Amino acid sequence: MLTDARRKAIEHIAAKDGEVIISKVAKELGVSIETIRRDISQLCKENILTKVHGGAVPVVSVLSEATYRHRKEANFKTKQIIGRTAEKLISSNQVIAFSTGSTIEAIVSNIHKKSIKVLTNSLPICDILSKLAESGEFDGDITLFGGLLNPKEHFTLGTSVTDKISSYHFDTAFIGAVGVCSQGLMCTTSEEGDIAAKLALSSSQVILVVESRKIGKPSVYRFADIGIVNKIVTDNENKISDEMLELFKKNNIEIIIAE
């Protein structure tokens, strides 16, 4: 593969997966690790990628996420594995809050035969549960927090949402994050983050569902301290650093690896 074609392939992988892991990409493209390192260095000089431990991430990912559709499709199998594991933490007759996000949606799509009360500001989650109710797979209650609609991200937002959340108490809140690092839980917009934080504050238990590739990585907006989390459900595709594991241990956070 010629240099230009190889670098375009690396750009494509970075855009699709949200990161480039040097050893993995070298194997996929059939070249040496040193070759991929040189390619990444050049792409960093061109302000396309930025280096992280073991690889690189797109520069754009520091400022914004991919579109909703692309996020939903990316790493679909991994999200489903996380979703199936997280769903097992839900018991019948509980009041459950769900924040927005494609990994959160994977939990909901795996809910079966459980009578629970669900509250969310996510339109896709309401749609998934409505279809499950039609097929007899879900017989609980669904409440959508009304507010200003973000049509691109498919969720409601604003003070009408956050004020309403504050009047509830949940048994468990499932929340997501774009990045989890020593600074805390991070996302790309304050609107989304503020709602996730409100859900967490109104809940007896907070479960963070997040792909392992996002652990140890920052984003733009810090919406909560790591200490608000009781459990983290993630996958085993990427090694969690000792620094992050120590941080989780210090905050008494249970780590559940979905397989």
| CATH code, domain with 101 | 3.40.50.1360
Q: What is the pLDDT of residue 48?
A: 82
Confidence of residue 218 (pLDDT cuts 50, 70, 90): confident
Same domain for 254 and 132, yes or no, is yes
Average pLDDT over residues 182-192: 89
The answer on pLDDT for 64 being more than 60 is no
Q: How far apart are CA 234 and CA 211, in angstroms?
A: 5
Comparing 2-16, 123-137, 229-243, the range with the smallest average pLDDT is: 2-16
Same domain for 8 and 79, yes or no, is no
| CATH code, domain with 48 | 1.10.10.10
Final residue belonging to a domain, choices 61, 96, 111: 61
Comparing 9-18, 126-135, 169-178, the range with the smallest average pLDDT is: 9-18
Same domain for 154 and 136, yes or no, is yes
List CB contacts of 184: < 8 A, sequence separation 6 or more: 222, 223, 224, 225, 226
Tokens standing for residue 218: 């920052």
Same domain for 244 and 153, yes or no, is yes
Q: What is the pLDDT of residue 56?
A: 84
Same domain for 23 and 76, yes or no, is no
Final residue belonging to a domain, choices 11, 44, 61: 61
Same domain for 92 and 180, yes or no, is yes
Average pLDDT over residues 57-67: 56
Rounded percentage of the chain residues whose pLDDT exceeds 90: 66
Same domain for 8 and 72, yes or no, is no
Same domain for 34 and 124, yes or no, is no
Confidence of residue 68 (pLDDT cuts 50, 70, 90): low
Same domain for 224 and 166, yes or no, is yes
pLDDT tens digits along 5-42: 899 899 888 877 777 899 999 999 999 999 999 999 99
